[in-house]
Amino acid sequence: MITVICGLVDAVCFIGLGGVFAEMMTGNLLLMAFLIGTGSVLGDATRYAPALVAFIDGALLGGACCAARRSYASAGWALPSNG
């Protein structure tokens, strides 16, 4: 079920955003590399930049949150349970 939903979201976003994937950063990197590799103007490849920047920002923020949680736990602070 999740595969179908994610595929649907990617298909709709790919069409709606003019050829940019919402979930699949590998696809965005691949399409951007094809544009750059074929000698296309770099301006064509920059349409993938907002999605890639948002992905990198989210990954960095998630990593910082995990690191902060570990440092609080190692310092003996009480953390809310996940359940």
C-alpha 46 chain-centroid distance? 15
| Amino acid code (one letter) for 78 | A
Which residue in 15, 52, 54, 14 sits closest to 32, CA to CA? 52
Express each pLDDT in 25-37 by its tens digit.
777 788 888 888 8
Express each pLDDT in 4-56 by its tens digit.
887 888 788 788 878 777 777 777 788 888 888 888 777 677 788 888 888 88
Is pTM, for the whole model, over 0.75? no
Residue 57 pLDDT more than 80? yes
CA–CA separation, 14 and 24 (whole Å)? 10
